[in-house]
């Protein structure tokens, strides 16, 4: 299960990371920037956990959650303040950064700060957004829509590549399974890799129960490690985790974010599984 590779970082003290190479990569962070102090604290904890597990780390946090269930759901600090916070974390901690963009007009400003742009699952078919992201020359991670078949992500990849991007990755985050539920089909990881791209598995969003809590989404974070192990065994290039220092206080995805103190042992198990399964990944 192998597509093309993407290179991130390598400048301003930030280490180079290769997505789609021989090693597993971690993408992790809180769902949304709640405060500068909390976001920085989580980034420090995740960098330490990743280092202890020996896995390259890309920090992720959203400056705006534009698809909240309810109109009064917390959305974040906005693009100006959010990019300042993420830029400071990148510089101070010397880590690669990614965040999502929701509109074509955001792409250039965000690409000036981050190492990779992320396209939200609900927007994975939006041509103008995909082309604008590709046009920046920044690597682009497209999250597969819950409504999309894995093979139907080919045209989304083509839209980004048509604008001359720095590489495309696809992320699995579960598929709609009736009302308020998602299911993960591990076959889709292989099918997306056959499109010639690195593949990431979002272990926490895949445990989400969309809109199931009435005015917010529910979920079951205890299932995330199980799904992550299955995806690593299947041969994914990266694992995506949303992580909070106190999930009970999280202002978005509180039911699915992992507690920061649980991440290091999980990463160590995933790295060990990745090494054990290495001989079988080309089969």
pLDDT of residue 260: 98
* Per-residue buried b or exposed e for 87-112, using 16+ beta carbons within 10 Å of the residue's own CB: eebbeebebbbbbbbbebebbeebbe
Please give the chain's pLDDT, 283 residues, in tens.
566 899 999 888 999 999 999 999 999 999 999 999 999 999 999 999 999 999 999 999 999 988 867 787 888 899 999 999 999 999 999 999 999 999 999 999 999 999 999 999 999 999 999 999 999 999 999 999 999 999 999 999 999 999 987 999 999 999 999 999 999 999 999 999 999 999 999 999 999 988 766 677 788 999 999 999 999 999 999 999 999 999 999 998 899 999 999 999 999 999 999 999 888 766 5
pLDDT of residue 212: 61
Contact 31, 250 (CB under 8 A): yes
pLDDT of residue 73: 81
pLDDT of residue 2: 65
CATH code linked to domain 6-277: 3.20.20.70
- What's the 3-state SS for the chain? CCCCCEEECCCCCCCCEEECCCCCEEEEECCECCCHHHHHHHHHHHHHHHHHHCCCEEEECECCCCCCCCCCCCCCCCHHHHHHHHHHHHHHHCCEEEEECCCHHHHHHHHCCCCEEEECHHHCCCHHHHHHHHHCCCCEEEECCCCCCHHHHHHHHHHHHHCCCCCEEEEECCEECCCCCEECCCHHHHHHHCCCCCEEEECCHHHEECCCCCCCCEECHHHHHHHHHHHHHHCCCEEEEEEECCHHHCCCCCCCCEEHHHHHHHHHHHHHHHHHHHHHCCC
pLDDT of residue 107: 98
Q: What ranges do the domains of the chain cover?
A: 6-277
Could you tell me the pTM of the whole model?
Answer: 0.96
């Amino acid at each position: 299960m192998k597509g093309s590779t993407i290179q991130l970082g390598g400048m301003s003290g930030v280490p180079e990371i290769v997505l789609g190479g021989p090693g597993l990569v971690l993408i992790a962070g809180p769902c949304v920037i709640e405060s500068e102090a909390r976001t920085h604290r989580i980034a420090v904890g995740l960098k330490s956990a990743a280092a202890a597990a020996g896995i390259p780390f890309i920090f992720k946090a959203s400056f705006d959650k534009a698809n909240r269930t309810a109109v009064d759901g917390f959305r974040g600090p906005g693009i100006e303040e959010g990019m300042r916070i993420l830029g400071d974390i990148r510089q101070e901690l010397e880590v690669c950064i990614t965040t999502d963009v929701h509109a074509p007009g955001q792409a250039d400003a965000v690409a000036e700060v981050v190492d990779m742009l992320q396209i939200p699952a609900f927007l994975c078919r939006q041509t103008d957004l995909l082309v604008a992201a590709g046009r920046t020359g920044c690597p682009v991670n497209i999250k597969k829509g819950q409504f999309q078949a894995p093979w139907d992500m080919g045209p989304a990849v083509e839209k980004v590549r048509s604008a001359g991007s720095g590489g495309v990755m696809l992320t699995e985050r579960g598929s709609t399974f009736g009302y308020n539920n998602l299911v993960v089909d591990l076959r889709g990881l292989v099918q997306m890799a056959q499109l010639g791209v690195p593949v990431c598995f979002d272990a926490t969003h895949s445990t989400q129960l969309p809109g199931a809590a009435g005015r917010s989404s529910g979920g079951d974070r205890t299932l995330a490690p199980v799904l992550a192990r299955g995806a690593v065994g299947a041969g994914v290039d990266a694992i995506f985790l949303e992580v909070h220092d106190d999930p009970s206080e999280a202002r978005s995805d509180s039911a699915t974010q992992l507690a920061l103190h649980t991440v290091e042992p999980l990463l160590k198990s995933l790295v060990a599984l990745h090494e054990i399964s290495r001989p079988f990944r080309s089969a």
